[in-house]
Structure 1
Amino acid sequence: MIERSDPAGERRLDLAARAAWLYYFKSRTQEQIATELNISRQIVQRLIALANSERLIRFQLIHPLAESIELADRLRDRFELIYCDVCLSESGSSEDIPSVATQATFYLENIIQQKAPLTIGMGSGGAMREVSRRLPPMDRPQHHCVSLMGNLTRDGRATHYDVVTRLAERLNAQCYPLPVPVVTNTIEEREVLQAQPGYGVLRSLVEEATLLIMGIGFWGPQATLYRDGFITAAETAQAMDAGGVGELLGCAISADGEIVDAAYHDRLTSFVRTQPADRPTTIVASGVYRAPAIRAALKGRLANSLITDENTARLVLSMD
Structure 2
Amino acid sequence: MSRPPASKPDPEPTVQDEAARAGWLYYVGGMTQDQIAAEMGVSRQRAQRLVSRAMADGLIQVRLNHRIGACMDMERALRDRYGLTRCRVVPGLGEGVDPVLGIAAAAAGELERFLRMPDPLVIGLGTGRALRGLVEAIDPLEAPQHRLVSLIGNIAPDGSASFFDVVMRISDKIRAPHYPMLVPVVSTTTEERAAFHALAPVQRVLELARACDVIFVGVGQMSEDAPLLKDGFVTAGELHQMRAAGAAGEVAGWVFDSDGQYLDFGINTRTGGVRVEPGLDRPSIGIAAGATKVPAICGAMKSRILNGLVTDMPTAEALLSAR
TM range (shorter): 0.7 to 0.9
What stretches of structure 1 of length at least 5 have no aligned partner? 1-18, 30-47
- Who is 2:153 aligned against? 150
- Who is 2:292 aligned against? 289
In structure 1, give the amino acid aligned to 2:103: V
In structure 1, give the amino acid aligned to 2:205: L
Which of 148, 154, 173 lines up with 1:170 in the alignment? Answer: 173
Change (3 A) 1:112 1:23: closer
Question: How much has 1:183 moved relative to structure 2?
Answer: 1.1
- Who is 2:192 aligned against? 189
Does the Cα contact within 8 Å between 1:94 and 1:288 map onto a contact in 2? no
Which whole-Å CA distance do the structure 1 matches of 2:245 and 2:139 have between them?
42
**SS of residue matched to 1:109:** helix
What stretches of structure 2 of length at least 5 have no aligned partner? 1-19, 32-53
Matched, 1:266 2:264: no
**SS of residue matched to 1:289:** helix
Which whole-Å CA distance do the structure 2 matches of 1:242 and 1:167 have between them?
36
Does the Cα contact within 8 Å between 2:89 and 2:312 map onto a contact in 1? yes
**SS of residue matched to 1:65:** helix
1:223-234 alignment to 2 at 5 Å?
Answer: 223-234=226-237
Question: How much has 1:187 moved relative to structure 2?
Answer: 1.1
Deviations 1:48-92 (A, max 9, x none): 9xxx79xxx976322231100000000000011111010111234
- Give the total of aligned pairs: 280
Scaled by the length of structure 2, what TM-score is found? 0.80
Which whole-Å CA distance do the structure 1 matches of 2:121 and 2:127 have between them?
19
- Who is 2:183 aligned against? 180
What RMSD, in angstroms, separates the aligned Cα atoms of the two structures? 2.7
In structure 2, give the amino acid aligned to 1:232: T
In structure 2, give the amino acid aligned to 1:254: D
In structure 1, give the amino acid aligned to 2:72: I
Which whole-Å CA distance do the structure 1 matches of 2:28 and 2:193 have between them?
70
In structure 2, give the amino acid aligned to 1:202: V
In structure 2, give the amino acid aligned to 1:230: F
Which of 109, 112, 132 lines up with 1:109 in the alignment? Answer: 112
Does the Cα contact within 8 Å between 1:252 and 1:262 map onto a contact in 2? no
Scaled by the length of structure 1, what TM-score is found? 0.80
**SS of residue matched to 1:291:** helix
- Who is 1:208 aligned against? 211
Which of 132, 137, 141 lines up with 2:140 in the alignment? Answer: 137
Matched, 1:257 2:260: yes
Does the Cα contact within 8 Å between 2:206 and 2:273 map onto a contact in 1? no
Which of 208, 222, 226 lines up with 2:225 in the alignment? Answer: 222
Question: How much has 1:269 moved relative to structure 2?
Answer: 1.2
Which whole-Å CA distance do the structure 1 matches of 2:262 and 2:120 have between them?
33
Does the Cα contact within 8 Å between 2:149 and 2:180 map onto a contact in 1? yes
- Who is 2:87 aligned against? 84
Matched, 1:319 2:316: no
**SS of residue matched to 2:292:** coil
Matched, 1:124 2:127: yes
Does the Cα contact within 8 Å between 1:85 and 1:308 map onto a contact in 2? yes
Matched, 1:246 2:237: no
Does the Cα contact within 8 Å between 2:183 and 2:273 map onto a contact in 1? no
- Who is 1:307 aligned against? 310
Which of 73, 77, 95 lines up with 1:74 in the alignment? Answer: 77
- Who is 1:199 aligned against? 202
Single out whichever of 288-297 and 156-165 deviates more from structure 2.
156-165
Which whole-Å CA distance do the structure 2 matches of 1:103 and 1:167 have between them?
16
- What percentage of residue pairs aligned between the two structures are identical? 33
Change (3 A) 1:156 1:28: closer
**SS of residue matched to 1:245:** strand
Deviations 1:286-309 (A, max 9, x none): 101111111110011111000111
Question: How much has 1:154 moved relative to structure 2?
Answer: 3.4
Question: How much has 1:26 moved relative to structure 2?
Answer: 6.4
Question: How much has 1:123 moved relative to structure 2?
Answer: 0.3
Does the Cα contact within 8 Å between 1:82 and 1:304 map onto a contact in 2? yes
Change (3 A) 1:138 1:261: same
Change (3 A) 1:145 1:283: same
Question: How much has 1:158 moved relative to structure 2?
Answer: 2.6
**SS of residue matched to 1:86:** strand
In structure 2, give the amino acid aligned to 1:190: R
Question: How much has 1:28 moved relative to structure 2?
Answer: 11
Which whole-Å CA distance do the structure 2 matches of 1:98 and 1:262 have between them?
34
